[in-house]
Every structure is written in C-alpha cells, then in structure tokens.
Amino acid sequence: MHNTRVMLNFDMVGVNAWPPGEAPLGVALHPEVLPLARKLRPDLHVFEEKANGPKILGRYAPLVGNSDHRFFKEIGVRTVFLHRGEDVNYHAPSDLTLQPELVQDTADFAVSLAREVIKAELKVDEPCGIGERDC
C-alpha cells in the first residue's frame, strides 16, 4: 500500500438516489484530486463528508460513514468516494434495482480519473506503519 496515490471507492453507484435535479454522480474526494475530477466533469456533484467528533492529532475522530474508503482516509491515503445517494431500499430485501448504464458511467469516469491521477504524479504521503517501523 506504500505506493497508493488514490483509493477509489464505488458505493451505491447502480441507482440514482439523489433528490430530483441534482447531478446523478456524486463524489467526496481529497482536495488534490478535485481539480482532476472537475477537468473531466465540470458539473460533478461534490459533497463533503463531515466529521462527527472532535479533532484529535489533526484529524476528526471518528469520520462520518463506514464505507470502505474510511480506513484509507484515516491513515492519510487520498480517497475518492463515488456515490449516487442512499437508495430507500438500501440493505433491504427490496434492494433489487440496478441501472447498468449508471454503473458503466461511474466506471468510465473512474478509469479516466485514475489516468489523470497517474499523469499528475501525486506524491505518495501515506504513513508506512505504526511509528514508521515498516518503512
């Protein structure tokens, strides 16, 4: 993981659950990645993940949300959280809807963004173990 430039997390991208009139693809992402994402999609819906606790050692604890990117974010890895809102059927027996075109749109955007990240040669600044003992 010591060469990770950005972690892409796809969560709930197969159903558009944003309120009517909002952009169908939303992201919460590291500030260094935002200009790259805007270059690809100027009208991208960007939302902020807010912390729900005090700041400890320069970071909020705990971060809001329990999606897969959270733990990468907590150790300083840049993250991109791709999301289309929380569907009313989330984790319910009725969670049966999938719009393949939305999944394809998200995948196409993510591949393009990954290429931009690679070209940008973002500095890897993640920690390398507890107390940096694994460096």
Please count the helices (runs of H) and the strands (runs of E) in the chain.
3, 6
Yes or no: domain 7-123 corresponds to CATH 3.40.630.10: yes
- What the block records as the tokens of 88 is 């009313």
**Stretch 40-60: mean pLDDT:** 65
- For residue 51, the 8-state DSSP code is B
d(CA 60, CA 54): 6
Please provide the DSSP assignment of 66-118 as one string.
Answer: -STTHHHHHTT--EEEEE----TTTTSTT-----HHHHHHHHHHHHHHHHHHH
pLDDT one-digit tens code per residue, 104-127: 999 999 999 999 999 997 776 655
Q: Which helix (H) or strand (E) holds 56?
A: strand 55-56
Of 11-25, 50-64, 87-101, 119-133, the range with the highest mean pLDDT is: 87-101
Residue 9's CB is within 10 A of a number of other CB atoms, namely 20
Please give the Cα distance from 130 to 88 (Å, whole number): 40
Tell how far CA 8 is from the center of its chain: 6
Is the model's pLDDT at 71 over the cut of 90?
Answer: no
What confidence score (pLDDT) does residue 105 get? 94
Output the pLDDT for position 133.
53
